[in-house]
Structure 1
Amino acid sequence: MMKAKTLLTRPRCFCLLMFGSWLILAIITEEPFGLPVPVECKRLDGTFFAHPDEDPDVNKKVEMLRKHILKCFPIDWTVMLYKEGIPSSEMDFKQGVGFIEYIIESINQNNATRTFIKSKLDALKMYDKCAIIGNGGILENSGCGPEIDTRYDYVMRANIAPIRNFKDDVGTKTNFTVLNYDIIRTLYSVLSSEGRTLEKADFIERLKWLNDSVIWYHKGARTRFWAKNKLRYLAKELKVSYNLPIRIAYTYTAIEHLTKWFWSIDVPYTTTGLNMYTVAIAFCKEITLYGFYPFVVDAKGRSIRHHYYEDVVMEYTYNRIHNIPTEFKLLQRLNDMGILHLKTSPCI
């Protein structure tokens, strides 16, 4: 009898624990209810990669992949681009619904919060040819700069990597820059520090090379309270204090979790590079990747640094955060199918 009672109380304890966790979240966060992933979102089926030679129509495959991507990464919610006229004070980076908002919407049976969010946003258009520039050391002495600057309609970069002293290899054209957690923290720390420092001057120099491009934060901010506060601060500093002509964008959910689920990659976090590529499929007809090469030597035996601009060590075979070799195999497979172009050789 006692054993039966114990078994009955376990589900009740679990429910109370879940309710208590949710209640704490509701108290300490502005948005306890996250924006939902579309119900039609489905993991990419393994049959997509099966027998690629049986259907040589690459465009058909690309459109099929884009159709799957858009069901999970609707572009108007994945790249939530603030309109040009929206002041930084109104950039709230909402990724969910507040407790009171949820109750009101439940009573009125509407989506007033989402409608309000959408009223501040612009939509990205489709581009014919896009380049995604990774920060890999394979770009060093590649001479790919002129090709990157002239061949593509839209160029995407990551984490404000330096350009000025590497123009010949990485180009200068920039339309879209992705920011992760670490660079947000670093930018906040540097820009909020008092006085003029070499580090602050360096980052302002890097930011100026972005011209009027989109800066996109692709991680979660709903329960990461520091992230939302820092994003608001950076939007104000960059747009008002430094008067940089950049556009600010964010996303409706943490992209890395959805990306690894979509591609069926067993890893804690997908890399910024794979996140960029996955989302770019939604608005780019043709995509070429530069600087994606997770090896310490190239095909000719030349030593390769992890980043083209700094000498840091990266363990590719074992990494408790990213599974870079698995991601690279995925990209190689897509390259072999003609769905993307993976540039790993010099351009000269």
Structure 2
Amino acid sequence: MNRTRLHAAGKMLVRCYRAKLSVCAALCVLVLCWFYIFPVYRLPSEKEMVDEVLRQGDVWQKNQTGIDLYRKLLTDCCNPQGMFAVTKKNSPMGKVLWYDGEFYHSHTVNNETFPLFVEDNPLPLPLKKCAVIGNSGILRHSKCGQHIDQADFIMRSNLPPLTKEYVEDVGHRTHLVTANPSIIERRFQNLLWSRKVFVENMKVYSSSYIYMPAFSMKPCTDPSLRAYYALADTSSNLTMLFANPEFLHSLSKFWKARNIHAKRLSTGLYLVSLALGLCEEVTAYGFWPFSIGLDERPVSHHYYDNILPYSYYHTMPEEFLQLWQLHKSGTLRMRIGRCPP
């Protein structure tokens, strides 16, 4: 009888021990996941970043070795030369395009979408001096417009205004501009009622490329296609390019390995990455995610408004720190504050 009880008690102890091990293992997995999503490191404060930039000053020296290395890294991981846009060459009929923002959705290239793609990469490679323009309020009163307009290839984010009141600070030339479908929804009522205002607004970008993430998330597809048809039906000089979701997904992995843990990279970082992969020299303007400037005065989020982004999606300070390290190494140049005459 005692042996039976001891045997039963032993079995119970083993079960309890196994249960505890399972609980401990589950807790360990949760802790590891937590540290992966929210890594233990302290971002510098806004004041610390201002001091860091002021210490660096205007000192910058081009590092050709660093530029070549980063272009190789981006080519090996993401192939921006061949994959930055959806083309007939990289996305033939029947190919499945998996949405990079929603992996459980996809689009199969068909008779409706295939004719909308360009034949191949239309950019005149290699691009020489490129300017990538963010939209930070740090651009206000910067007088960087002439510097920006002197670049050989100019990329802008999310259909920014280029009216006369801003030209002195941001320039007026554009070769490629992104258009987030959410802007199409908010500013142009999803192009469901009238396309005239949208087409008129696009004229400020002359004969540039409009770069849209049509296949990033399912709600992005229809507004992007409507934007394509709105421009095509009015014989616009603009050329629509759809961002390749494979390229965007590869870039996300590339930057995640470099301590950017955002749910989604900002449009600005996608453009800087594209420029680093395609251009011989890159200068970034208007990248400043902090609410105070170099003079410790308030800075609006955009040079044209102060509407804040969803912090859930982007981690702008993390992105800035990575770009700042590239600036200090001479791989790209960041213009912050006023440009020299």
TM interval, shorter chain, is: 0.5 to 0.7
Q: CA 1:314–1:250 in 2, change beyond 3 Å: closer, same or farther?
A: closer
Unaligned runs of 5+ in 1: 1-55, 84-90, 103-114
Report if the CA contact (8 A) 2:70-2:277 is conserved.
no
Asked whether 1:158 is paired with 2:153, we answer no
SS at match of 2:220: helix
Written as runs of structure 1 = structure 2, the 5 A alignment for 1:296-335 is 296-313=291-308, 319-335=311-327
- Judged with a 3 Å threshold, the aligned counterparts in structure 2 of structure 1 residues 57 and 137 are, in CA distance, closer, same or farther, namely closer
Q: Note closer, same or farther for the CA distance 1:219–1:122 as it changes in structure 2 (3 Å cut).
A: same
Residue 225 of structure 2 is aligned with which of 219, 225, 232? 232
Matched, 1:294 2:289: yes
Q: Name the structure 2 match of 1:267.
A: 262
Give per-residue Cα distances to partners, 1:283-304, cap 9 Å, x unaligned: 1110001000111111112221
Mapped pair 1:76 → 2:77: no
| Pairs within 5 Å for 1:1-348 | 58-74=63-79, 75-80=81-86, 96=97, 120-124=119-123, 125-150=125-150, 152-164=151-163, 165-186=165-186, 189=189, 191-194=191-194, 201=197, 203-218=198-213, 220-221=215-216, 224=218, 226-241=219-234, 243-253=235-245, 255-263=247-255, 264=257, 265-313=260-308, 319-347=311-339, 348=341
Structure 2: gaps (5+ residues): 1-60, 99-105
* Change in CA separation of 1:148 and 1:95 when aligned onto 2, cut-off 3 Å: farther
CA contact (8 A) 1:95 1:253 kept: no
Q: TM-score, normalised by structure 1?
A: 0.66
Shift of 1:185: 3.0
Helix, strand or coil: the match of 1:166?
Answer: helix
TM-score normalised by L of structure 2 = 0.68
Q: Distance in 1 between matches of 2:214 and 2:225?
A: 15
Structure 1 58/210 Cα, relative in aligned 2: closer, same or farther at 3 Å? Answer: same
> SS of the residue aligned with 2:277?
coil
> Residues 147 and 235 of structure 1: is their aligned pair in 2 closer, same or farther, counting only changes over 3 Å?
same
The answer to whether the 8 A contact 1:188-1:234 is kept is no
Equivalent position SS for 1:304: coil
Change (3 A) 1:138 1:322: same
Please list the CA deviations of residues 293-344 of structure 1 after superposition, one character each: whole Å capped at 9, or x if unmatched: 11111111222100001133468xxx32211111110011000000000100
Distance, in Å, in 2 between the alignment partners of 1:117 and 1:247 is: 10
Work out the CA distance in 2 between the residues paired with 1:176 and 1:93.
28
The alignment's C-alpha RMSD in Å is 3.3
Measure the CA separation in 2 of the matches of 1:122 and 1:62. 22
